[in-house]
Amino acid sequence: MNLVKEVEENQNIVLVLNESEYKGSIIKLNQKLSKVVGSICYVSITTQVKSLAETFTNEGISIENYKFVGCSKKHGEEPVTADSRFIAAPTALTELAIEVSKAIKDETELLFLDSVSSLAVHNDEFKTIKFLHHLITLTKGTNTRGLYIILKSDFEKGLMKELALFADKIIEYASLE
Domain boundaries, the chain: 3-173
Taking only the tens place, the pLDDT of each residue in 69-96 is 999 766 556 777 777 888 989 999 999 9
Question: Among candidates 155, 110, 83, 116, which has minimal Cα distance to 12?
Answer: 110
Q: Which CATH architecture has domain 3-173?
A: 3-Layer(aba) Sandwich (3.40)
What residues form DSSP beta bridges with 71?
Answer: none
More confident residue, 164 or 160: 164
pTM over 0.85: yes
Quick one: the chain helix, strand, coil %, rounded to 5? 45, 20, 35
Distance (Å, whole) CA 97 – CA 94:
5
